Amino acid sequence: MSAPDTHPDDRPQTYLITPPEFDPAAFADRLAAVLDAVPVACIRLAPATRDEDRIARGADTLREIAHARDVALVIADHFLLAQRLGLDGVHLSDGARNVRKARKALGGDAIVGSFCGTSRHDGMTAGEAGADYVAFGPVGETPLGDGSRAGRDIFAWWSEMIELPVVAEGALTPPLIEAFAPVTDFFAIGEEIWSEDDAAEALQRLLAPLG
């Protein structure tokens, strides 16, 4: 499974991020309901744990659900586990630092994504190193991190100057979805919906501005 292409009608695609902790059996039904309600291009397994057995159990559950629907599944940071667990690639959270290493380990067909915070320079470096996409964020207000936000200007510049797909993530709201839709290829969405009882409905509300 190759990296997802940008949407043919330029409508940004949806990229899901799992909760940092979840019970695989219980989460399976929630994830399936979301995937059946809204088209999703990619899922990021983003475990808080470093327990390889727990990560593997989560990956096994997600892989079956995702691949049955032709949705790519990547793991956050642990690129050495990606092939072993039958995943489609890795999302690196440390900018361009490990892009070349991940690409060498996983080969040319794997997805390698890079989160570059608010740094346009890191994004360009990651692209030159072989990333399939670059993510910037957070785009919304959040108490996490140092308070920096990736403004619409960085996405507008990127979408005009750089061909590499770009992902907007972090504290997304319907107004932000509407504002960033013309300048991003993907919206990465996680905690915005998983805290709700009905995650599928929450995602549909969040994406409503896209029509």
Residue 85 has pLDDT above 90, yes or no: yes
pLDDT value for 1? 37
Q: Is residue 44 part of a domain?
A: yes
Q: How confident is the model at residue 163 (pLDDT cuts 50, 70, 90)?
A: very high
Q: How confident is the model at residue 83 (pLDDT cuts 50, 70, 90)?
A: very high
Q: Is residue 82 part of a domain?
A: yes
E strands, 41-97, in order: 42-45, 72-76, 89-92
Model's pTM, two decimal places? Answer: 0.94
Q: How many angstroms separate the Cα of 159 from the Cα of each of 9, 120, 152, 201, 204?
A: 15, 12, 11, 29, 25
Number of domains in the chain: 1
Q: Is residue 2 part of a domain?
A: no
- Read off the pLDDT of each residue in 8-18 and give the average, rounded to a whole number: 88
CATH assignment at residue 73: 3.20.20.70
CA 52, CA 58: separation in Å to the nearest integer?
10
Q: Is residue 5 part of a domain?
A: no
Q: How many angstroms separate the Cα of 9 from the Cα of each of 14, 66, 111, 164, 208?
A: 14, 23, 22, 17, 17
CA 93, CA 163: separation in Å to the nearest integer?
21
Q: Is residue 30 part of a domain?
A: yes
pLDDT value for 80? 94
Q: Is residue 72 part of a domain?
A: yes
Tokens read off for 204: 């549909």
Averaged pLDDT of the chain = 94
